[in-house]
């Protein structure tokens, strides 16, 4: 079974509008972390935001926020006030357990295009 599912292969959003990128996950481990990464056309992986499974509040980092719904096992990324520079591939990833060196499991990604 897929551990991380991103159901939107591609999305468009108008500049200055908000956009939500979907991510659902599957784990039986009570301790896990959820990450979002941005990959621009240049290829590097840029860390955006993190949510821990025991965190009571949704994570926020500037224009990025994570809509964490634990019971539904979803961790959607919300980008407010989209900018042209937000056009990129976005990956949701999960790390199970707090242990030493656990791997990241990635979703297939969502390509976001911001229109002017």
Partner 1 sequence: EAQVTQNPRYLITVTGKKLTVTCSQNMNHEYMSWYRQDPGLGLRQIYYSMNVEVTDKGDVPEGYKVSRKEKRNFPLILESPSPNQTSLYFCASSSGLAELPWNEQFFGPGTRLTVL
Residues that bind partner 1 in the complex, under the rule CB under 8 A: 4, 33, 35, 37, 43-45, 47, 50, 52, 91, 93, 95, 98-104, 106-109
How many Å apart are CA 9 and CA 111, to the nearest integer?
A: 6
CB of 85 to partner 1, least distance (A): 18
Q: Which residue has the tokens 């108008």?
A: 14
CB of 81 to partner 1, least distance (A): 25
Contact 37, 95 (CB under 8 A): no
| C-beta of 2 vs 14, nearer to partner 1 | 2
CB of 31 to partner 1, least distance (A): 10
| C-beta of 68 vs 91, nearer to partner 1 | 91
Mention every residue, 6+ apart, whose C-beta is less than 8 A from residue 108.
Answer: 6, 9
How many Å apart are CA 57 and CA 6, to the nearest integer?
A: 22
């Amino acid at each position: 079974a897929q551990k991380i599912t991103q159901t939107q292969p591609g999305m468009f959003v108008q500049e200055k509008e908000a956009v939500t990128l979907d991510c659902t996950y599957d784990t039986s481990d009570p301790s896990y972390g959820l990450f979002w990464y941005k990959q621009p056309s240049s290829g590097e992986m840029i860390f955006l935001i993190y949510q821990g499974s025991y965190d009571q509040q949704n994570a926020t980092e500037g224009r990025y926020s994570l809509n964490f719904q634990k019971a539904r096992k979803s961790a959607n990324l919300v980008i407010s006030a989209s900018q042209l520079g937000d056009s990129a591939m976005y990956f949701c990833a999960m790390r199970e357990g707090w242990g030493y060196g656990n791997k990241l499991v990635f979703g297939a990604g969502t390509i976001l295009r911001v229109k002017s």
